[in-house]
Structure 1
Amino acid sequence: MSTEEDFTPVKPAESELLVVTGMSGAGRTTAAHALEDHGWYVVDNLPPQMLGTLAELVARTPESLPRLAVVIDVRSQALFRDIQDAMHGLASSAINHRVLFLDASDEVLVRRFEQGRRPHPLQGGGRISDGIRAERRLLAGLKDSADLVLDTSDMNVHALATEITQLFSDDGPITLRLNVMSFGFKYGLPVDANYVADARFIPNPHWVPALRPHTGLEKQVSDFVLVDSGAAEFVKRYVYALEPVLEGYRQENKHYATIAVGCTGGKHRSVAVAEELAKRLAQLPRVKVTVTHRDLGRE
């Protein structure tokens, strides 16, 4: 799934505080368990009002809590409404912190609650979907300000645990981790994309009978997309345009970004362009790149 540049992590000089939040049913418990497996001290269901106090404790005794993850969610009900004030206070502190927001589509969340035979914490006397809508409204601001939004719609517990391992099991924070994702516009935009490139300007291999059964991972399709159409020049200029953006992310202490490349079905053009884009981005300094083909294999 990934194309990666060798990277030697630098051990942080101070404690790290990771705030794990997001939609109920999106995998917070799985993420917390995976973090514990990799040496993080995890505090679950912390009232937001206690976040500042805990951050001060971590800052004073970094040797005691070098890697602390705090799970905050709407189970605290009315207390959760103070989350924005708590996050603003955290942003003004000296503690090195990040926010991970776990999300999934409404359809997937409904199915997970139904399979688990449990109510949504905000549904009250209504339906599960009512609780999900209320939670999305409550979490909108927190999602917008998160360092990383991870869509778990297509992940089972094992895939999510693996993703958390790849993101947070290093000895220290990676300067910048990029996920280059191909997708099909007919299946919808990726919810966690920071940037979206449209590859539909490229002639479509779908209309070439000899290429239709193949994918953008195969040479004959890749050559058609990148060489015959001149799309390689687009990739080159796109990387050039992204360089100051990535440097700005570093300066703002943003560690993660998803760059999505879309075509109609996510099989030919977007796949070939995403692979080439990942290769070029991996050549940049202090960058680690993974590649995901969201819709490859779908009919």
Structure 2
Amino acid sequence: MEFVIISGMSGAGKTSALHIMEDIGYYCVDNIPTSLLQTLYKLCKDSSDKAMKRVAVVVDVRGNGDYEVMYDDLENFKKNNEGVSILYIDAKVDSLIVRYKETRRRHPLTERLKDGSVAAAVKEEQRLLVPVKTLADYSIDTTFMSIKQLRERIISMFLENSSNSIMITFMSFGFKYGIPLESDLIIDVRCLPNPFYIAELKEHTGLEKCIQDYVLDSEETQEFVKRLIDWLDYSLPLYLKEGKSELVVGIGCTGGKHRSVTIAELLDNYFMEKGYKCIVQHRDVKK
């Protein structure tokens, strides 16, 4: 029995995430009050229908007026039932405000606040959901993410989910576009040789051999990579021992096209060969 609770900020992409879960075979329910979670769980667990054994539901501020009760219900539900995990969908406040203004949709909290502005509603929701975010097993920040990237991330998490292993996401990014909020670790590789300043390499990316050769052939990079791998080799079993189900390693260079992509690809290949479940995502490589 797999029971995935999707929660997070309004406008961050919970509905899109639910549609993706449905596409990969989960029985999905949107906007369910936490008071009904146990009833739904029992119905699915007792059902003889195999399609009811993988369930995804959205729980958020729309169906829950008392947020302290919402948090307590989620905490108790997760603690008292097997196979339950929480996926938290997030995005930066400024991005959410822009999305609401572009779509002209009303935020669920606007009518409950004296200041009924979108900005006030988004910030209040962020404050209210802090406790829920702490319960999450998985977190995705969609600020700079396309629907295609969100789909790839969710599929990697749940299509072949294994509760006995940690899933590592190596995410390359450019510091000029902001740090990925869901990152557990940030590795700054701006100290490595930069192909951007080589005319014949500038327009290529770290997905290409010419860039990989340039970055990895230097003594500085080889020593950097050796020490980084040694550290991760030591750290990953400790995260696994603590019961962490996902680790997001952000690898950043200036623009997110050359050095960070190269190192992310290298780490993904290395740890996949060691038997870890890995995914590599290049957030800014096409910018």
The TM-score with structure 1 as length reference comes to 0.83
* Cα distance, 1:225–1:161 mapped onto 2, change above 3 Å: closer
* Cα distance, 1:59–1:160 mapped onto 2, change above 3 Å: same
Letter in 2 for 1:190: P
Letter in 2 for 1:31: A
Query: Per-residue CA shift, 1:31-81, capped at 9, x if unaligned?
Result: 222222332222221222333454455556686631121210011242333
Q: Which region of structure 1 is more displaced relative to structure 2, 79-88 or 179-188? A: 79-88
Q: Does 1:136 align with 2:126?
A: yes
Letter in 1 for 2:185: Y
Query: Per-residue CA shift, 1:255-276, capped at 9, x if unaligned?
Result: 3221111112222221211111
Per the alignment, residue 88 of structure 2 pairs with: 101
* Cα distance, 1:151–1:62 mapped onto 2, change above 3 Å: farther
| Count, aligned residues | 283
Kept after mapping to 2: 8 A contact 1:180/1:291: yes
Determine which structure has the larger helix proportion and give its number. 2
Query: By how many angstroms is 1:221 displaced?
Result: 2.6
Q: Does 1:242 align with 2:228?
A: no
Letter in 2 for 1:119: R
Per the alignment, residue 153 of structure 1 pairs with: 143
Match of 1:212 among 202, 224, 231: 202
Q: Does 1:24 align with 2:10?
A: yes
Match of 1:264 among 227, 238, 254: 254
Query: By how many angstroms is 1:180 displaced?
Result: 0.8
Gapped regions of structure 1 (runs ≥ 5): 1-14
Query: By how many angstroms is 1:172 displaced?
Result: 5.9
Query: By how many angstroms is 1:150 displaced?
Result: 1.1
Q: Which region of structure 1 is more displaced relative to structure 2, 120-129 or 57-66? A: 57-66
Give the alignment's Cα RMSD to 1 decimal. Answer: 2.6
Letter in 2 for 1:132: V
Q: Does 1:170 align with 2:156?
A: no
Per the alignment, residue 40 of structure 1 pairs with: 26
Gapped regions of structure 2 (runs ≥ 5): none
Query: By how many angstroms is 1:191 displaced?
Result: 0.8
Q: Which structure would you say has the larger RCO, counting Cα contacts within 8 Å and 6 or more residues apart?
A: 1
Kept after mapping to 2: 8 A contact 1:215/1:267: yes
Kept after mapping to 2: 8 A contact 1:18/1:99: yes
* Cα distance, 1:294–1:53 mapped onto 2, change above 3 Å: same
Letter in 2 for 1:290: I
Match of 1:79 among 58, 66, 85: 66
* Cα distance, 1:157–1:198 mapped onto 2, change above 3 Å: closer
Per the alignment, residue 274 of structure 1 pairs with: 264
Q: Does 1:180 align with 2:167?
A: no
Kept after mapping to 1: 8 A contact 2:33/2:64: no
Letter in 1 for 2:33: P
Letter in 1 for 2:4: L
Match of 1:111 among 76, 98, 104: 98
